[in-house]
Structure 1
Amino acid sequence: MNKFLSIFLILVTFFSCKNNTISYFDQEPPSTIPKLFAPSIVNTANIELNVVFNYDNTEMFFSRIVDNSFVIHHSELINGKWSDIKPIKMYDDNVLVSVACDPTITKDGKTIYFLGVDPKLYKNDVTREELYAIPPDIYESKKVDGKWELASKVDFLVSTEYLETYPVVTADGSLYFRSNRPSATGGMNTYRAQYLGNEKFETPVIIDTKTEKKELITYVSPDERYAITNGQGKFQMTFNDNGEWTKPKEIPLKYESNWRYYCPYMSSDGKYFIYSRRYNNPKKKGWAGVEKGEVYWVNADVLFNTKIE
């Protein structure tokens, strides 16, 4: 082979590999010891939660509590650099206090599903306790001409008069979520709604997670090969065995008391487990008592290698 052609091919291979490297805000990747995700960028003095990326890792989303509102923020990878963190406007200007959190992104990167609260159900002078007590629904926002549009409630089969939370979209557009709608099993259950196209879903069906402790699915891999459940203040793994979910097995992390662990997520390349935790004032329950919220990431070996302590 010609010497100069060889050098050219080597350079092409080098820069191709370099351009395909996934960027996480120039952070050093974590080991099997969890560490804060993007300190001062994502993790600040505010309460932050649920970091997620789109499929090609060119847009990052997370939620931050600002003036008692849950606001989804994002950053885009443009010419190899992440843009400044900015909030996404999901509701009209007259909505001063709102809820928008737990985002999940479709494979084409053009639709966000998230947990929202109907703005018509509260006033702008609503207290933090009153706002967080209103049953949430699943909302969606479309990206049109590079801009996220105002959100609207999802198909009535998914969003009902009952509580719906933790939406997770799969590669084929189907939705997993949790709801306390009436059922034979009662209480909260994990549901799956098969996507039919044209923003329509089949009637959601309950997913049996093979447990007596009500560990419910809060993340599912795009191919639905495995899922992460959340129960008893800890994370668990369950695998899809020919359509049946295996009994959840605890993910070995150092769970600290008075901290609640939630919002599990896998990075788009499958290498890192990203999760949130919040510190509650022991004298107060629910979000009204949250004093600190953080996002961590850790090498995914903690999920798939049970020997790691």
Structure 2
Amino acid sequence: MRNLSAFIISVVIISCNKPETSYLGQKTPGTTPELFAPSLVNTDSVELNAVFNNSMTEFFFTRIVNRSFLIFHSELVDSKWTAPTALQMFPDSNVNTTAVDMTLTPDGNTMYFLGANPENETYSAMSDIYRSQKLNGKWQLAEKVGYPISTDEYNESYPIIVADGSLYFISDRPGGFGKEDIYRAQYLGDGKFDTPQSISQVVNTPLGSGDTYVAPDESYLISNKRSLDKPGLYVSFKKDGNWQPLIYLEEPINSEWTDFCPYMSPNGKYFFFSRRYSDPPESGWAGVTKGEVYWVDASVIFDLNKK
């Protein structure tokens, strides 16, 4: 018994002294949004996005460097997170690349993201959905996901992969309910998808939808609505297979600036979002002066489903 007690005490001591590795070693937030990983993710540059893989061993975010949107990557190695480095998604010869708004398959081996034709001006190029495979521990150059996901005439953006491998994304293609709709494409296997369908008139507003996160089990979504009377992030919960009316996320999540890039931690406990400051506000990315990544306890969202 004495030996057992000594063993238990030693385990407790080791556990207490073990460095915290979850979430890049950051102290988790409460119900007030906080900057995520200051000086590591949030710097003097423009940053956005925050995505962990399901095993919490890889982390991705986006940083603008020399007018290019670059996906930065950190990996947990020997209980330590590596310094974030940019992933190469396009050949060296391409300039003004756009690789942003990433999402991962459940096994963590395929990344989908918004990409723009590297030969065009970054802020005016048509956007499409690209994907990169992880082979032998290294992320490969990306390829465009072909039709019926990406098109030559229309924009496709903000991909989200759910638990069964199906793909949600935003597109201004014709046939939807609004200017830009949330579409869902059923996964068919072998990297292929069925014809995308606009999901619901309840969540696809006439003036369009922005960045939209969908839960892995498709039980709720969080969407940026820039065109409503109160622009910002909204949540919709699914009940009996139907999307319910959108609920506005009050301050301090939404602000006078642009709040976008919604995403959840793999365990659904923490909500990540980005905030963009532009001068003037309507100038968009061309006038951006600052971009930050925030996180907050997800109860501030789920509690809305209890009202």
TM-score by length of 2: 0.89
**Structure 1 position 131, deviation (Å):** 2.2
Matched, 1:264 2:277: no
Q: Choose 152-161 or 40-49, whichever is displaced more.
A: 152-161
**Structure 1 position 250, deviation (Å):** 1.3
Partner of 1:183: 175
Aligned pairs (5 A) from 1:1-309: 4=3, 23-119=22-118, 121-122=119-120, 130-161=121-152, 162-183=154-175, 185-208=177-200, 210-211=202-203, 212=205, 214-215=208-209, 218-232=212-226, 233-254=231-252, 255-257=254-256, 259-282=257-280, 285-306=283-304
How far apart are the structure 2 equivalents of 1:218 and 1:33? 21
**Structure 1 position 167, deviation (Å):** 0.4
Distance 1:238 1:186, change over 3 A: closer
Distance 1:201 1:282, change over 3 A: same
Q: Which runs of 5+ in 2 are unaligned?
A: none
**Structure 1 position 155, deviation (Å):** 2.9
Deviations 1:191-222 (A, max 9, x none): 00111110100101111151546455610111
Q: Which runs of 5+ in 1 are unaligned?
A: 123-129
Note the aligned Cα RMSD (angstroms).
Answer: 2.5
Percent identical residues = 48
Specify the code of the residue in structure 2 equivalent to 1:154: V
Q: Choose 149-158 or 225-234, whichever is displaced more.
A: 225-234
Contact 1:22 1:57 in 2 (8 A): no
Specify the code of the residue in structure 2 equivalent to 1:262: F
Secondary structure of the structure 2 residue equivalent to 1:305: helix
Contact 1:114 1:138 in 2 (8 A): yes
Distance 1:111 1:17, change over 3 A: farther
Contact 1:115 1:139 in 2 (8 A): yes
How many residue pairs match? The answer is: 298
Secondary structure of the structure 1 residue equivalent to 2:271: strand
Specify the code of the residue in structure 2 equivalent to 1:105: L
TM-score by length of 1: 0.88
Secondary structure of the structure 1 residue equivalent to 2:267: coil
Contact 1:209 1:248 in 2 (8 A): no
Secondary structure of the structure 2 residue equivalent to 1:25: helix
Distance 1:271 1:95, change over 3 A: same
**Structure 1 position 13, deviation (Å):** 9.0
